[in-house]
Chain A
Amino acid sequence: MVRWGELMAGSFLLLSLMACSPSEKLTNTEIQGQWLYDDHCAECHEKPHPELRKQPPNLHGLFLAKALPSGTPATDEQVSKTIIEGRGTMPAFDKRLREADARQLVAYLHKLK
């Protein structure tokens, strides 16, 4: 039992370390974007919210598809616009984020897979 526990702890530590040092290094802009993502987006987009009318879509691999969940083309401009103006039940972030913030977020979203 003890050995199994140690093995588990060891595996977890190793995996955590691996996860903490991503193979792909992020640029400063992308790191800024990651901070913004954690602060402003993750709360809705990383976790199921069964009480919400529409489930906020997961944003991993957003730019890998041709179209955004809304059906519009997956372009930087469209994503920036959605962040700033909101869309459907997603609130507008125009009072909280500036265009430059939206650019950093978009840069990070390209890396979020």
Chain B
Amino acid sequence: MHLEESRGRSKVFGTLGVVLFLAATVGCASTKKYPLQGEIVSKNVATNEITVKHGDIPGFMPAMAMPYHVQDPAVVQELQPGDKIAAEGFVNKDTKEYWLEDVRITDESGRSQAKTPVAPHMLIPGERVPNMSFVNQDGRTIHLSDFAGKALLVTFIYTRCPMPNFCPRLSSQFAKIHDELKKNPADYSKTHLLTISFDPKYDSPPILRKYGLAYLDDDANGFSQWDFASTNPTDMAHIAQAFGLQYQEEDNQISHTMNIVLIAPDGTVAKLWSTDWTWTELMESMQHTLHSSGQSSEIHGQALYGYLCASCHEFVNPDLRKEPPKLHGLFLAKNLPSGAPATDEQVHHTIIAGLRTMPAFNQLVTDTDADDIVRYLHRLN
């Protein structure tokens, strides 16, 4: 938000010409004030912004969670997520800019229970992303594991979003990234964009397809590197938790936060963004994580291991009949846990066909994928 402009009203009215122009084009030029009550979702001390979840404020803002600029930095320091606040919301009807003044804490008892952006269940950079599946614009099921080995940039939208600084901005800026990546075929083939709708009831595959085409200038080939997808509400709630996304349907629209996640080629979180980003920063981060990754088949195998193997082989699950063995140092022993010789072929076969209580993965991985997992297992000691 460029609050400097809106605050410099005296500057705007500096010449009669501008006054004439304003009066003639917009009618009653003024800043309007609206009382606002809400709850702090998060804050950004660097930009002096607080994200406030509030009800409908007629003439000012529909019910939603929304970042606002606050004039006094000391106020932002003091506020904590979960605080209930009262404030004056201002909107400049000419520039359409808005900000908060006179922010007062009315109730700080919610502080300890508030979900902060670093809640334990939320993924942090460096952490492995669990596999997730979605249905895309073609009605096809896709998995995060399909993008193993690539730099994957993920964001969350709903197609009906009318706030130009939210979903339309996200999709427009993703489109810009897509345009740029396309100019470099080597990078293009190793990157992927994923736009996930948190409104699966409305955003069916045909709606997502139409939406995607509008941002791909009607070129359906772009879907090969940019998927528009959704999943069922239960899974979506878990996915939102993992990435710190908050959304809530109210009066036929959805209040939501802005979240962007970059997943590195090895399947870990590389970086997370909320309100403060530019498309060049996102794209450069994608290129950086891509070019700083090691040998690609091994990294590909590492990501597949993280998505497909780690959830059973790295965690103890007492409900299982047989505990899946640890795979660290698998090839250091002569024999596999099953007793079969520890060869690449044997491990490859087990991945594809399964073994006893381990399911077959032939639907999720190709032979090349299995080879890459084997390659990574040699390194996992």
A binding-site residues for B, Cβ under 8 Å = 8, 11-12, 15-16, 18-20, 22, 38-40, 42-44, 46-47, 49, 51-53, 56, 86, 88-89, 91-96
Contact = CB atoms under 8 A, between A and B. Distances in A.
Contact of B23 (A16, A44, A49): A16
Residue in B13, B16, B23, B159 with the greatest tally of chain A CB atoms within 10 Å: B23
B96 A15 contact: no
Interface in B175-190: 175-176
Contact of A18 (B13, B23, B171): B23
Interface residues of B, number: 33
B268 to A, nearest CB: 29
A7 to B, nearest CB: 8
A28 to B, nearest CB: 18
Contacts of A92: 159-160
Contacts of B24: 15, 19
Nearest to B179: A53
Contact of A16 (B29, B96, B159, B164): B29
Interface of A: prevailing SS? loop
B28 to A, nearest CB: 5
Interface of B: 13, 16, 19-20, 23-24, 26-29, 59, 95-96, 159-165, 167-169, 171-173, 175-176, 202, 214-215, 252-253
Contacts of B168: 44, 49, 52-53, 89, 91
A88 B213 CA distance: 8
Given A15-B24, A18-B23, A95-B252, 6 more contacts: A15-B20, A15-B23, A22-B27, A44-B164, A86-B160, A96-B252
A43 to B, nearest CB: 6
B248 to A, nearest CB: 15
Contact of A53 (B26, B159, B215): B215
B21 to A, nearest CB: 10
B16 to A, nearest CB: 6
